[in-house]
Homo-oligomer: A and B are copies of this chain.
Amino acid sequence: MTPQANFSDRGRIVPLTANLADPFQRLGGVLRFAVGEEIYAQEEEADLIYRVVSGAVRATRLLSDGRRQISDFYFPGDLFGLEIGLVHRAAAEALGDVEVLVVKRRALKLLGEDGVQLERMIWQATGEHLERAHDHMLLLGRKSACEKVACFLSDISDRCAAPWAVLPMSRQDIADYLGLTIETVSRMVTQLQQEGLVEFDGCRRFRIAHRARLSERVAA
């Protein structure tokens, strides 16, 4: 299994068996964070590159008056903390207990073939983040509240593979990701449930009840 293949199953559970062909696993240090802990702060010096092993992470950006935008959620296999400048432009926070692998940015040059391989992974990930960012801009700028929530649930469900998915983030996180308020998210979830498109078991566990009809609501 190449690192690329390993990386590509974004959001799936990555096998925890050691893979010595993967420089991230071989050279990376492990860090653990508890619910709500800050992995790095906005404007903090960007020293490390991160990869989620288990748990989930949110990347948040704040306006001075406290308004918050979550630019992305990272799941097992995802790289994050990639910055072009010297500082992190967004904060990263643990959505639950999180385990991450880290490598030093400055060490990349010293690692020979491993460094080259890691740089290729980082480059690939940066490009994927950019694509996701463009998709997300379209959602934020041009989709209705209902479409936003439908998209979101559909995405999360797709990443999970399993029929039932569990949301690792709060309604507030979802709202800040979709550019809505918590109340609107709640109302849209209720509406999609009443229409029989999704089914919830508690407020975190859900499944897509009618994928075809949900897709019509997603606006692609």
- Which A residues are within 8 Å of any B CB, using their own CB? 61, 63-65, 67-69, 71, 82-85, 89-90, 123-124, 126-131, 133-134, 136-138, 140-143, 176, 178-179, 219-220
Taking CB atoms, residues of chain B closer than 8 Å to A68 are 142
- Partner of A141 from B83, B126, B129, B140 at Cβ < 8 Å: B140
- Return the 4 tightest CB-CB contacts between A and B, nearest first: A84-B127, A141-B179, A133-B133, A140-B140
Known A71-B134, A219-B63, A219-B65; judge A179-B127 contact (CB<8 A): no
- Cα distance, A90 to B129, chains bound together (Å): 15
Give, as a whole number of angstroms, the nearest-CB distance from A147 to chain B: 9
**Is the beta-carbon distance between B131 and A85 smaller than 8 angstroms?**
yes
Integer count of this chain's copies in the complex: 2
User: Considering only CB atoms, which chain B residue lies closest to A127 in the complex?
Assistant: B84
**Is the beta-carbon distance between A138 and B83 smaller than 8 angstroms?**
no
Taking CB atoms, residues of chain B closer than 8 Å to A63 are 138, 142-143, 219-220
- Cα distance, A65 to B143, chains bound together (Å): 11
- Partner of A179 from B65, B90, B130, B142 at Cβ < 8 Å: B142
Taking CB atoms, residues of chain B closer than 8 Å to A82 are 127, 130
Listed residue (A61, A71, A130, A133) with the most chain B CB atoms within 10 angstroms of its CB: A130
- Cα distance, A126 to B133, chains bound together (Å): 12
Taking CB atoms, residues of chain B closer than 8 Å to A83 are 127
Can you sample 15 A-B contacts with CB below 8 Å?
A63-B142, A64-B219, A67-B143, A84-B130, A84-B131, A85-B131, A123-B123, A123-B126, A126-B127, A126-B130, A130-B133, A136-B137, A137-B137, A140-B179, A141-B178
**Is the beta-carbon distance between A129 and B131 smaller than 8 angstroms?**
no
